[in-house]
Structure 1
Amino acid sequence: MVYSTWFLLCFLSTAFCYNESDHNIHGTNAYGWEFVRDLFRENFVQQQELGAAVAVYHHGRPVVDLKGGWFDEAKTKLYDDNSLQLVFSTTKGLVAVAVALCVQRGLLDYSALVTKYWPEYGQNGNENTTVADILSHRAGLPYTSSPIDQFRNWTAMIHTLEQEQPLWHPGIAHGYHAVTYGWLAGELVRRVDSKKRSFGQFIKDEIATPLQIEFYIGLPSNIQYHVSPVVPHPDVKNTLNETMKDFFQIWNDPHIHQADNTSNHWDIQCLVNRTPLCITYRSSRRRVRTSIVK
């Protein structure tokens, strides 16, 4: 009995120390890819990461599938395969893929004027904007005058963008369209979609389902509990003013997560990247679980 108790205590102590020192890092890596695990661990040790996941495919073969840390700031549960996470401007890549798919099918032409597909866009100096201008951040509309309460209303946002005057003549300069890219490019897709789907539904039907990927623009409410909250880095947490704190509350608002739109509303580059996307990579099943948060 004494021996059994001693063995159990040693086992629990070892397990606890491993989890604490290794930041709950679990998963697999192929031989020769140990350096990725080391770098992943450093992200927790040196950068004070709360929770994260990473997966790598090499020549079509899964070689890294790691998770670590905690789902929430209170550390009530582990960050695991089911955790969804906002990754902001990664969304723009998927938006561009959707446009490219329409170009491949002959529905859009990069060199064509936007007004060929979206006539209402041709006003207030936007008449000569091309599809390529929008995709390359040269449209002159990097942000919008819309109030925040319109950001969850796709139709209202499109109407506002139609009325906006560009900050420069479209095509002659470049400026990162952090706030407007998703609506501008996404509306082009909607205009040529014969099924008249929402942009989120288009992504699901034409990209996510065929590739066996879980990807959401407009998160289903029944999986909201999988979304890991966005929290400020410990180094800046105590220096945030009330306005900055409000941004984190907005980013964690389920109504924002579930809205069917595709570009970020706020620009706080010093704290986080932009254009929300929730993502968890399940390499063993070749699946990506994602969700846009705008």
Structure 2
Amino acid sequence: MTEIHGECATGFEPVRAAFEENFAERDEIGAAFSVTRHGETVVDLWAGWADPDRTTPWRADTLTNVWSTTKGMTAICAHHLADAGLLDLEAPVARYWPEFAAAGKQDIPVRWLLSHRSGVTGIGPERPVTVEELYDWDHITGLLAAQAPLFEPGTVSGYHALSFGFLVGEVIRRAGGLDVRAYFAKHVAGPLDADFRIGLDTDVDLARCSTLVEPVLSAETASALAQAFASAGPPALAALGNPRVQGRDSNDPAWRRAILPALNGHGTARAIATIYGALASGRLLSDAALATAREGQGRAVDVVGGLGTEWALGFYLGGEEHGFGPNPRAFGHDGFGGSSGGADPESGIAFGYTMNRMGSLLRDDPRKMALVNATFAAPALRS
């Protein structure tokens, strides 16, 4: 039996049971899960090991690279700017970033960056990019500014897997006067005392990181993935294959120190739940700004991910998959490998999940879903 640490309020016992089951039945190495209700922490659990050799215990302050769960944090910054009147989501991106008008992109509005509809899913294969090049902000944003759309903007969604952070982050920098790491620290994490960073900048924080373990794929899954890449069109190849990042990349200190606002947020489950709890309870955004952030953009099959999805502005909506609870308008963002953060303002519930054994899915990892389902089935929510 894995020793479980932390607290679980009366009426949320099924959550602790699901957390234990993830270790006993779903091969968890180290993980944390936290839930807030109306802004108050009701579940805060952690257990296991921060490294695959099982020499370093997972602690309350263990930081984990949460991959695309970071995108939700970056989106919050954009909505915070809009709420302050400094960013118009309907305005052309080129109003704030004139260089972006190149290659016929002069009319693309900011909202299409947030909803993955700009067509700039990444950098086209004619200009191969290395993982190391991602660490040079001006270089990558310059390439994206020059990039032509890879599908007709506004017509469909195509997951901006890597480009989302650079595109939205550069708009934040131009409109807000701070890079996205600094803006997030000043206006989101700092006021909430939330232990989450978009890129790390101290050796102390580097030492707190868990080591991510790449997913082990069955022969069938590996074959299907290879076939998918072989038959992928330009939007998907740009988004997922240029460069093709691997789970192991996130363990590199250079990756951890870079500003990658779609990929390298590092935080605790408690911090993620705190931030989404503040969103749900109106402490980060006005009611009007939160309503805008949750606006569904129409359900469709994403041309990159190939999954039925309804995007809001920077977040997934739970939809028929109920990825953030039974309310289809609950919202949040998952990260490659399994991490997640989300909120259901109608119930007052928000949560965060971090782990270091990566699964193979882009969203709705079975461990996360077990925890989310247990949270919303908890007796406390029926009282």
TM-score after normalising by structure 2: 0.61
Question: Using the alignment, how far apart are the partners of 2:253 and 2:96 within structure 1?
Answer: 33
- Name the structure 1 match of 2:201: 220
Question: Using the alignment, how far apart are the partners of 1:142 and 1:175 within structure 2?
Answer: 6
- Name the structure 2 match of 1:230: 212
- Name the structure 1 match of 2:257: 258
Is this contact kept in 2: 1:152–1:259, CA < 8 A? yes
SS of the residue corresponding to residue 278 of structure 1 reads strand
Task: State which of 116, 121, 142 in structure 1 corresponds to 2:100.
Answer: 121
| Distance apart, 1:88 and its partner CA | 1.1
Over 3 Å counting, the alpha-carbon distance change for 1:235 and 1:164 in structure 2 is closer
- Name the structure 2 match of 1:198: 179
- Name the structure 2 match of 1:271: none
Superposed CA offset, 1:10-50 (max 9, x none): xxxxxxxxxxx1x1212211111110001001111121010
Is this contact kept in 1: 2:170–2:179, CA < 8 A? no
| Distance apart, 1:225 and its partner CA | 1.1
Is this contact kept in 2: 1:51–1:79, CA < 8 A? yes
Higher relative contact order (CA 8 A, sep 6+): 2
| Alignment of structure 1 residues 1-294 onto 2, 5 Å | 21=1, 23-145=2-124, 147-148=129-130, 149-193=132-176, 196-222=177-203, 223-233=205-215, 247-263=246-262, 275-282=263-270
| Distance apart, 1:180 and its partner CA | 0.4
| Distance apart, 1:207 and its partner CA | 1.4
SS of the residue corresponding to residue 135 of structure 2 reads coil
SS of the residue corresponding to residue 64 of structure 2 reads coil
| Distance apart, 1:87 and its partner CA | 1.5
Over 3 Å counting, the alpha-carbon distance change for 1:236 and 1:279 in structure 2 is farther
Code of the residue aligned with 2:268 in structure 1: it is T
Is this contact kept in 1: 2:34–2:269, CA < 8 A? yes
SS of the residue corresponding to residue 32 of structure 1 reads coil
Code of the residue aligned with 2:77 in structure 1: it is A
Is this contact kept in 2: 1:121–1:162, CA < 8 A? yes
Is this contact kept in 1: 2:117–2:154, CA < 8 A? yes
| Distance apart, 1:282 and its partner CA | 4.3
TM-score after normalising by structure 1: 0.78
Code of the residue aligned with 1:168 in structure 2: it is F
Is this contact kept in 2: 1:204–1:216, CA < 8 A? yes
Code of the residue aligned with 1:226 in structure 2: it is R
Over 3 Å counting, the alpha-carbon distance change for 1:104 and 1:78 in structure 2 is same
CA-based RMSD = 2.5
| Distance apart, 1:78 and its partner CA | 1.2
Q: Which has the larger radius of gyration?
A: 1
| Distance apart, 1:112 and its partner CA | 0.8
- Name the structure 2 match of 1:270: none
Question: Using the alignment, how far apart are the partners of 1:157 and 1:101 within structure 2?
Answer: 24
Superposed CA offset, 1:84-129 (max 9, x none): 1122111111111111111111111111111111111001121211
| Matched residues, number | 250
Superposed CA offset, 1:221-243 (max 9, x none): 32201110110345659x989xx
Superposed CA offset, 1:197-234 (max 9, x none): 22211111121111222321220232201110110345
Is this contact kept in 2: 1:144–1:179, CA < 8 A? no
- Contiguous gaps of at least 5 residues in structure 1: 1-20, 264-274
Is this contact kept in 2: 1:43–1:49, CA < 8 A? yes
| Distance apart, 1:136 and its partner CA | 0.7
Is this contact kept in 2: 1:190–1:198, CA < 8 A? yes
SS of the residue corresponding to residue 191 of structure 2 reads coil
| Distance apart, 1:277 and its partner CA | 2.5
Over 3 Å counting, the alpha-carbon distance change for 1:258 and 1:236 in structure 2 is farther
Is this contact kept in 2: 1:24–1:78, CA < 8 A? no
Superposed CA offset, 1:144-184 (max 9, x none): 24512310011001100011110112112211111100010
- Name the structure 1 match of 2:232: none
Over 3 Å counting, the alpha-carbon distance change for 1:178 and 1:233 in structure 2 is closer
Code of the residue aligned with 2:212 in structure 1: it is V
Is this contact kept in 2: 1:186–1:199, CA < 8 A? yes
Question: Using the alignment, how far apart are the partners of 1:282 and 1:42 within structure 2?
Answer: 20
Is this contact kept in 1: 2:50–2:210, CA < 8 A? yes
